[in-house]
Structure 1
Amino acid sequence: MKKIYKERIDRYKGQVQQLRERGIWFSTGRLAAVVASLLGGYLYLDSYETFWIILCVLGVALFLFLLARHTELRRKKKHRENIVLLNQRELKYVQGGKPEWPDGSVYRDPDHLYTHDLDIFGPHSLFAHLNRTVTLRGAARLAQVLADPDRPGVVPARQEAIKELASELDWRHHFTASGMEVEEDPQMTKKIARWLDEKEESASALLINPVTRVILASTAIGLGLYFVLSPTAAHFNWFMYAFGINLILVFSQFKFLRREHKALNGIAPSLQMYGELLAAMEKSDFKSAELAALRNRLKTGEGKASGSLKKLGRLLNGFDQTSNVVALLLTNGLYLYHLHVLQSLYKWKRTHGKEIHDWIEVVGEMDHLVSLGNFAANYPEYTYPELAEEPAYEGEEVGHPLISRAKRVSNSFSLEDFKYMVLTGSNMSGKSTFLKTLGVNLVLARAGAPVCAVKLRVYPFTLLSSMKLIDSLEREESYFQAEVLRLKSIRRVLDKGEPCLVLLDEILRGTNSEDKRNGTRLFMEKVGSSNAKGVIATHDIDIAELADKQPDVFRAYYFESKVVNDQLFFDYRLRKGICTTPNATDLMRAHGII
């Protein structure tokens, strides 16, 4: 991927430079058009010759044409600059750099049954490595998939969608770059919901009627042209009468304009951005069932969903002219512009009001799938897991996806013939990392994403863990009490009978050794009878000896450390049996404490 990202950076930088050079020509042309229109207007007022007014009008028309083309060119240039930025970020990431996207800290929940323990959200988290979303709904959907996954039956379809997106680098970057144009208004969906729920109190049906507006606008514009061609005081007065009447009619409906503006103020750029994302989806040619279904949800009775959403954005942009006095007077005095906007808003609300929330949901769904597709593309060596129909968890060379390739140590294992792996090992030997490896890869598997393994077969378990609980002064909750409450929550889920994967790391460490040992043994015997599998890490050899008493339920595995040339050495390899080489004294000696 490094070579691909470098090539794309060079290619799109070249396109940006070309567009920049074309922009200079457009700027020069606009300046020439302004000069021509000003010169024509001045000479017309001096001589009243028709040629000069034609030159003035043509200059204005050329200026508006070049302005529109230049605006589109700047949009294209910005889009390609965003693609350059995307590739620069991805290149930095695959070279071992920190992800430059939001890390999901807003979704952190210490009370969740596994996300806090497994570092799913926050700095250096799974979310931080996955997230490439550009919409708030997309980020929320990605967080939901990681913390509260969909039913297992949808995973195969999601895998096919992610595989297809992983192969569509150009489309993915076009989609993401389109969403980087503006920062989404966090209140957009709430504002739209309130607007749609408002009791409609429409403006005068006669005034917003298109026929009425055409007659009034034609009269004002016609009298204005008549005055230009035949400038007399009487003609000017007629024009001003028509101009003033139009303004009075518009201002008579101003309370309705203000109400609509207040309800939807500030969301026009976000709507335009969502419109661009919808347009990218409409132009796609995806074959996977999941992606095709998302595209089909955009079909509407009148035109395209993207066009409809962009139109709403343009209408709301028109409201922004209410703060521009000159534009407000000119556009409404000539052709009652804001009555046109008001009538169009009412029509849009009736036509598409029931569809807009689904469009936003579709964009969010695609947005989070793009993130997972990007993850799959960045790690082509990862594999898509096989989903078992019965509780199972077995894999070859399974590693932690958040550990760099250079430092990662992978292990093969199987929980096929027993329920719980009792894992012993010296300090820093890899027990906690192994538990997180199983948990994080299960989270990825349930999301439909590839996992860090050569091969993995896993049931989509409900995931439960107790690994790094924290006490709470605010809730007057000690560490031990927090742990007891977590174990109670785990028992509550296990008692429902659904297949679970349980990951426990040194439970009951907040009490004395003998009490801890007894409590751990009794808890393990309880969960051993449940419909679950899991791994229980402990330093207590007595606990590991449960494997001899109940081999169909518990099996002993361990990690070890060695002292080589007075230095501690860890190979992080999983072995069968019980660890008999504690290293706390060696660690303290290595750090000069004793």
Structure 2
Amino acid sequence: MTTTPFDFYTEQIDILKKQLKNSKQKLFASSMLRLALFLIICYGVYFYFGDAKMVIGVLIVGIALFLFLISRHSNISFHKKILQKLITLNKKEINALQRNVLDFPEGNEFEEHAHYFSQDIDLFGKGSFYQYVNRTATQEGSKTLAEKLKSNTINNIKSKQEIIKELSEKANWRQNFTAYASISKTETSTAEVVGLLRKHSFFVPKVMRVLPIIFSLLSIAVFTIYFMDLIGEMQLLLWFLIGLGITGFYLKNINELSLHASKIQDVFQQYQHLLLQIELANFTSEGLQSLQKKIAVTSKKASQIAKVFSKQLDALDQRNNILFGIFANGFLLWDLYQSFNLEQWMKEYSKKAEDWFEVIAEMDAMNSLATFAFNHPEYTFPEITSEKMILEATNFVHPLLDPAKAVTNNFKIENQQFFIITGANMAGKSTFLRSVSLGIVMANVGLPVCATSFCYSPIKLITSMRTTDSLTDDESYFFSELKRLKFIVDAITTDNYFIILDEILKGTNSTDKAIGSRKFIEKLVSSHSTGIIATHDLSLCEVAEELSDVKNYYFDAEIIEDELFFDYTIKTGVAKNMNASFLLKKMKIVD
């Protein structure tokens, strides 16, 4: 029996809650163990008080064990946070299955008013398709997802489908990736990290590979002879000041590096886990294997290299502990040693890190698309064809409509055909146009569409459905319309587009509109374009009598017992029933 998405998420929550309970018990036991060790150390110091060697021995052993327990406690705490994130993810997905996606980002920052189609089809914003599909957990993943939806490219669709299909089957892997990505929100973008790595001016001389080690060994020797009373405090202080002097010579550069390190530390702490998730996955599709190869490094695993850098960044950050920083630099040349290690890493792996960031953003975006596919097992992956037919769909509907209420349609349009769709207000024309538009976008991205079958010859999309005037640019509504139509005419001279228009030339009088619309349709047909136009102007339907590539379709409306009814089904022919006058009377706007 196939598990439904709802059953999967519900079962995951139950499993994760049990694991979380166990994790909390481990944390409590760990806390009690640390408390017990602290009391034992205190008792040991008290018991051996007066015996300096035994007290020092108790402190050294006790502190070492205490640090080990802190590290262990930190790991358990991190695992607990992951479990909590996973529970939250599954709860959100259950809400999403019920079409409650208001907790997800709207993507308003990605809107482009002059884009080929995004403004017309509610791609971004509240209740948008982006909000419905977005599950990204990184800034770069969100941007990559938006770019994919806006890209208007028709390349490698089958490869995209294979990636989405494979990831959709790896639900646990996807959720783990997202949980690790969202566990720590970084304020610094990867673009900023790349900029810092590229612009860094190297300053640590090669001698610092060994000098801090030699200096640290000599410091141990100095302390030894100090405790043997062979030298006094002044000599020890002199040695300490020599160390500070060497470090101080590079202090300005170290401070700048430390400032940059603090900005990028969280990024590498987060990304080492994401790289590990990608490395451990057993992918079979060529596209995902290609991403795995892109992060690979010959000598070591990328996750291990990122982890080393993260630890080095953390080590340099210890200088911000004033007491530690002063003594570590005076006796160990700590800052110079850590700066040298960081610069060596930058020289060797900075360029490769750019590949890591790119792959993680890609994987984060593809996870969103795969989750969409997983949540809609009844949807159909488009069948790609190169035949004359551009699009043929059965039981096709907009994915954001409530499936319990939505009316599906069958639809077929061939290359170089142009459909004129008429119908009364609210009959479903605009919704149908957006359904076709979004279906094309989804197909080009590699997503399954809301249909029982969807055969499709890849084509780019261009639309004109929502035009607005601009007070800022001192543009009238009509001039904005003309600019948009000019944009479409220019675009189709260089590439093949599926054109979707909704009630063009609304900003002029009815006579002018009828003449202009007819000429525009004739121009599109003469350029062998394919597309749909919705209109209230029935005279435009006469074009179909003269041009064989133009077909008339309509959405009907009926008035039955003084009530308005719609069936939202597309039919061949021209609309005969209109409802504006009826609605004006019905709502008592006019008599």
Smaller-chain TM-score bracket: over 0.9
Number of residue pairs matched?
585
CA distance in 1: counterparts of 2:28 and 2:242, whole angstroms: 43
SS for the counterpart of 2:27 is: helix
Shift of 1:184: 2.6
Shift in alpha-carbon separation, 1:114–1:153, aligned structure 2, 3 A: closer
- The residue that corresponds to 2:497 in the other structure is 500
- The residue that corresponds to 1:113 in the other structure is 116
Asked whether 1:203 is paired with 2:204, we answer yes
- The residue that corresponds to 1:213 in the other structure is 212
- The residue that corresponds to 1:544 in the other structure is 541
- The residue that corresponds to 2:470 in the other structure is 472
- The residue that corresponds to 1:13 in the other structure is 17
2:44–2:55 CA contact under 8 A, matched in 1? yes
Asked whether 1:394 is paired with 2:395, we answer no
- The residue that corresponds to 1:564 in the other structure is 560
Asked whether 1:409 is paired with 2:407, we answer yes
CA distance in 2: counterparts of 1:388 and 1:225, whole angstroms: 81
| TM-score, normalisation: structure 2 | 0.95
CA distance in 1: counterparts of 2:38 and 2:588, whole angstroms: 79
Shift in alpha-carbon separation, 1:569–1:492, aligned structure 2, 3 A: same
Amino acid at match of 2:26: R
1:223–1:235 CA contact under 8 A, matched in 2? no
SS for the counterpart of 2:520 is: helix
1:389–1:459 CA contact under 8 A, matched in 2? yes
CA distance in 2: counterparts of 1:325 and 1:184, whole angstroms: 25
SS for the counterpart of 1:536 is: strand
Alignment of 1:83-482 (within 5 A): 83-150=86-153, 152-200=154-202, 202-206=203-207, 208-210=208-210, 212-224=211-223, 234=231, 240-390=237-387, 392-416=390-414, 419-482=417-480
Amino acid at match of 2:565: F
Residue in structure 1 matching 2:38, options 34, 37, 40: 34
Cα deviation code 1:283-329 (max 9, x no counterpart):
10000000011001111133111222232222222333333212212
Asked whether 1:51 is paired with 2:50, we answer no
Q: Which is worse superposed, 280-289 or 140-149?
A: 140-149
Amino acid at match of 2:29: W
| TM-score, normalisation: structure 1 | 0.94
Shift of 1:142: 1.1
Q: Which is worse superposed, 267-276 or 86-95?
A: 267-276
2:415–2:530 CA contact under 8 A, matched in 1? no
Asked whether 1:581 is paired with 2:574, we answer no
CA distance in 2: counterparts of 1:232 and 1:24, whole angstroms: 47
Amino acid at match of 2:564: L
Amino acid at match of 2:79: K
- The residue that corresponds to 1:60 in the other structure is 63
Residue in structure 2 matching 1:528, options 525, 528, 533: 525
Shift in alpha-carbon separation, 1:99–1:531, aligned structure 2, 3 A: farther
Shift of 1:100: 2.2
CA distance in 2: counterparts of 1:300 and 1:475, whole angstroms: 51
Shift of 1:527: 0.3
Shift in alpha-carbon separation, 1:38–1:329, aligned structure 2, 3 A: farther
Amino acid at match of 1:434: F
CA distance in 1: counterparts of 2:398 and 2:273, whole angstroms: 37
Cα deviation code 1:32-83 (max 9, x no counterpart):
3333334444565x41253332221111011000000011111111011110
1:40–1:52 CA contact under 8 A, matched in 2? yes
CA distance in 2: counterparts of 1:539 and 1:305, whole angstroms: 60
1:136–1:186 CA contact under 8 A, matched in 2? no
CA distance in 2: counterparts of 1:442 and 1:490, whole angstroms: 17
Q: Which is worse superposed, 292-301 or 375-384?
A: 292-301
1:461–1:501 CA contact under 8 A, matched in 2? yes
Cα deviation code 1:77-126 (max 9, x no counterpart):
10111100100100111022124221211011111121000111111111
Identity of aligned residues (%): 32
Shift of 1:220: 2.4
Gaps of 5+ in 2: none
CA distance in 1: counterparts of 2:328 and 2:43, whole angstroms: 24
Shift of 1:186: 4.2
Shift of 1:351: 0.7
- The residue that corresponds to 1:555 in the other structure is 551
RMSD of aligned alpha carbons:
2.0
CA distance in 2: counterparts of 1:382 and 1:205, whole angstroms: 60
Shift of 1:160: 0.4
